[in-house]
Amino acid sequence: MASPLPSSLHRLSLLFKPSSPQNHRLLTGFFTRLGRLIKEKAKSDVGKLFSGFSKTRDNLAVIDELLLYWNLADTDRVLDELEEALLVSDFGPKITTKIVESLREDTVAGKLKSGSEIKEALKKSVLDLLTTKGSKTELQLGYRKPAVVMIVGVNGGGKTTSLLAYRLKKEGAKMAAGDTFRAAACDQLEICAERMGCEIVVAEKEKAKAASVISQAVKRGKEQGYDIVLCDTSGRLHTNYSLMEELIACKKAVSKVIPGAPNEILQVLDGTMGLNMLPQAREFNEIVGITGLILTKLDGSARGGCVVSVVNELGIPVKFVGVGEGVEDLQPFDAEAFVNAIFS
C-alpha cells in the first residue's frame, strides 16, 4: 500500500487540470465521467468499507444473537436490547426510537414474523433514512470550469484534502497545490506534490489572508483553464467568531471570481466524536451552507451510527468516509454498502 500523506498539511488551494491534451472538451462530459468513476469506485471497494466499519459491526453483532432465537413473546425484551445496541453505536435517540417503534408496530401487526425479517426491516429503515435525506452523495460540480470545492472544518483537514486530491487525480485530473499562509507547510507540500506528481502554488507572502490566496487560486484556475479548484480552509474552531467570519470572506472571494461558485462546500468531521460532531456541523452550516460531509477516522470508532444521525439531523449528504490512514482509504460514500457493512 502506498504511504499515507503527511498528516499536518493545512489550508490548501488545489487546482485540477485535465491530463488529456483536449482541454476544450465539454465540461458536462468530464464532470459526468468523473462522478461516474467515483461512484463505480465506491461500488468496487465495498471490501475496504466493510473492514473500515469492523468496530461498529462488532458493536451491532448482538442484534444477530437477539434475533436468532426470536419469538413473539420476547418482542419487547428483544427490541429493548436492540434499541440499546443502536444507541451505543451512536445512532442517536431520535432515530433509534423511530426505528424501534416502527419495528414494534410491524411485529405486533404480524408484518414481521421472524428474526431475519426484523433484521431486513431494520436495514431498510436505516437505508431509507440515508437515501431520503442525503441522496446526493456524488460531487455536484456543475457544468463550467473551473468547478470550485471548499473544504471546511474544526480539525486541520489538509490530509483529508490531500486524499481527496489523490482520489480526483486518480480519476484523470492533474493537480497543483498551495498553502494559504503557513510558511512551514511548504516543505510538506513539496513532499505531497512529489508523491502525487503535481505542481505547487504557494502564498505570495507569509500570513496572507485565506480569502486572498483562495481568490488567487480560483483566478489562476479560470485563466489557465483548469477543471477543478479545491480550497482547504480547515482548522477553524466553530466557536471563534473571527475565524468563522473568514470563511464568509473566502466564500465571497470565490463568488467574485466565478459567480455561483463554490459548487461544493464540504465539511470534514472527526468520526470518533460521534454525536458530538453535530454542534460543529450545525454552526458551519449556518455560516457558509454545507453541501456535503466527509467523515474521517471511522475505522477507529465503534460509533458508525453517527453517519445516520448527522444525515438525519441536518439533511446534508455524506460524500466521503475515511476508513484508514492510506491514500486509498478515503472512500466515496455508498449508503447501501454502508448499511451492509455495519449489519453483516
Q: For residue 323, tell me if it sits in a domain.
A: yes
pLDDT at 139 over 70: yes
Q: For residue 130, tell me if it sits in a domain.
A: no
DSSP state of 275: G
Q: What is the pTM of this model?
A: 0.83
- Rounded Cα distance, 88 and 342, in Å: 13
For the chain, the domain total comes to 1
Q: Give the DSSP per-residue string, 188-252.
A: HHHHHHHHHT-EE---SSTT--HHHHHHHHHHHHHHTT-SEEEEE-----TT-HHHHHHHHHHHH
Q: For residue 7, tell me if it sits in a domain.
A: no
- Rounded Cα distance, 44 and 48, in Å: 9
The CATH number covering residue 237 comes to 3.40.50.300
Q: For residue 36, tell me if it sits in a domain.
A: no
Q: Work out the percent of the chain whose per-residue pLDDT is above 90.
A: 28
Q: For residue 206, tell me if it sits in a domain.
A: yes
Q: Find, among 330, 244, 314, the residue nearest to 278 by Cα.
A: 314
- Rounded Cα distance, 62 and 142, in Å: 44
**Distance of CA 49 to CAs 41, 44, 57, 323, 333, Å?**
11, 10, 11, 7, 9
Q: What mean pLDDT is reported for the chain?
A: 77
**Residue 216, domain extent:** 41-46+135-343
pLDDT at 219: 86
Mean pLDDT, rounded, for 19-33: 53
Model confidence over 173-205: pLDDT tens digits? 544 443 444 444 455 555 665 666 555 555 666
Q: For residue 280, tell me if it sits in a domain.
A: yes
Q: For residue 53, tell me if it sits in a domain.
A: no
- Here the cell at position 5 is 500523506
Mean pLDDT, rounded, for 236-245: 69
With a CB cutoff of 8 Å and minimum separation 6, the contacts of 325 are: 4
- Rounded Cα distance, 243 and 212, in Å: 15
Q: For residue 28, tell me if it sits in a domain.
A: no
